[in-house]
């Protein structure tokens, strides 16, 4: 639910980045990425604080948030926010198709990772697999962003 709230920020940044003059594009992209990373850090902190309190309440005390699961969930929140910034950057650079490529890579990593880690490690393994998959997606996005980043005010 919290990441749904965090969606508003990159959505709002789309028009701001998209309306940039060519000479402003690099600075605005950098600012948008910094905002998304900051949002990711704040989201991860919120998960670390709220999840141990919220899970027992939501599940009537039947489920307790394991500290390892909470840590992996915080890492996942951070990566999701950072990757939203990467997706926003890809769109602004005219490389939106790479978002789909990153999603395919994430799925290709997630499915076998979940299948392998969940039976042996339970929820901790599942969360770790999701973090690895999200990191793989981010690697694809940011590698493409680095190749296409505007240099010297031009693309």
pLDDT in tens, 112-132: 999 999 999 999 999 999 999
Q: What is the pTM of this model?
A: 0.88
Q: How far is C-alpha 61 from the chain's CA centre?
A: 30
pLDDT confidence band for 155 (50 / 70 / 90): very low
Residue 18: the pLDDT is: 77
d(CA 81, CA 3): 8
Give the DSSP letter string of 74-107. Answer: HHHHHHHHHHHHHHHHHHHTT-THHHHHHHHHHH
**125-147: average pLDDT:** 96
Q: Which one, of 80, 96, 76, lies nearest residue 17 by Cα?
A: 96
Residue 21: the pLDDT is: 77
Check pLDDT > 90 for residue 63. no
d(CA 143, CA 136): 11
Residue 87: the pLDDT is: 92
Q: What is the pLDDT of residues 8-43, one digit of tens each?
A: 777 778 878 877 777 888 888 899 999 999 999 999
């Amino acid at each position: 639910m919290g990441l749904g709230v965090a969606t508003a920020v990159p959505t709002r940044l789309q028009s701001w980045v998209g309306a940039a003059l060519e000479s402003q594009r690099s600075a605005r992209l950098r600012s948008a990425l910094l905002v998304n990373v900051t949002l990711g850090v704040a989201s991860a902190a919120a998960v670390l604080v709220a999840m141990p309190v919220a899970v027992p309440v939501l599940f009537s005390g039947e489920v307790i948030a394991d500290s390892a699961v909470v840590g992996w969930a915080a890492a996942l929140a951070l990566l999701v926010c950072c990757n939203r910034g990467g997706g926003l950057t890809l769109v602004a650079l005219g490389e939106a198709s790479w978002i789909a490529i990153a999603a395919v890579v994430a799925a290709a990593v997630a499915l076998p990772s979940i299948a392998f880690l969940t039976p042996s490690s339970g929820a901790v393994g599942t969360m770790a697999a999701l973090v690895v998959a999200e990191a793989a997606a981010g690697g694809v996005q940011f590698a493409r962003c680095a190749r296409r980043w505007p240099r010297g005010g031009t693309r």
